[in-house]
Amino acid sequence: MTDRYAVIGNPIAQSKSPLIHGQFAATHGQDMVYEAIEGPLEGFADAVRAFIAAGGRGMNVTAPFKLQAYEMADTLSERARQAGAVNTLKFEGGRIAADNFDGIGLVNDLQRNLGMALSGCRVLMLGAGGAARGALRPLLEQGPAELVIANRHPEKAEALARPYAASHGVRGISYAEIGRQRFDLVVNATSASLRGELPPVPATAFSPEGLAYELAYGKGLTPFLRLAQNAGVSHLADGVGMLIEQAAEGFAWWRGVRPETGPVIRRMTVPLV
């Protein structure tokens, strides 16, 4: 019998996950189907249970359900526990196992695909929401010299940084406190680019020899990336590689085979113009 998988979110029409997993399955001869499900805002758990009852084997979870998926899981990976959010579920033996591959997807894209050496570099993370929370621990495991979290509401950045302040020196600050500090890697983990807006990061935060990374994907040259480009940064990237790398990690967890990501990244990359 063909195995069933899905991605659930609201809205979900924009999701590229069916295309990605469909290509992974075709390349590796996996007997599976993968669909997109728009979950009701007030009925996430019921939608997951209905999918399981219909024979579902696993699910990817996107906004706004990652925290609800965390609460629903019977078992959590250490990554998911540290992030406090879940992006992948596996259904076996009547139980729901959960993991979060967002952070490792980002790290894999930065190091494998973009050639960014994270050890010893200075990192600025913009935003303190779920995306930043999922990326924080995997980034720290690579040994950056410094990691600073900036947010419109500095108390949120401070709260996210606090568990890692003593062990890794992570700091949470306001945008105004960035001042003239310069970073090798600036990651936009805010939702500003989805609205065509620019987070209030100063142009002086970018190192011309560094990398500006936009978690949003398929938007071309977003206001954030344009600011970096105008500041002299030549190395720009959006989150399509992260999306595909985290999908590959989830696929391997489900199917026991880790797909090649390069061909899918090349197929889905939108020029940054």
Give the position of tokens 């979060």: 100
Peptide bond into 18 cis (omega under 30): no
Catalytic-role residue among 16, 66, 90, 219: 66
* Enclosing H/E stretch for 18: helix 17-28
Three-state secondary-structure class, residue 45: helix
Give how far Cα 91 sits from Cα of 88, 99, 106, 133, Å: 10, 12, 25, 25
Answer for the pair 114, 240: CB distance below 8 angstroms, yes or no. no
Give the Cα separation of 156 and 254 in Å (integer).
Answer: 34
Give the Cα separation of 169 and 259 in Å (integer).
Answer: 35
> What distance lies between CA 186 and its chain's CA centroid?
15
Q: Where are the alpha helices (DSSP H) in 54-125?
A: 66-72, 78-83, 102-108
Residue 66 designated active-site: yes
Structure tokens at 68: 């609800």
Helix axes 240-255, 17-28, angle to 10 degrees: 50
Catalytically annotated residues: 66
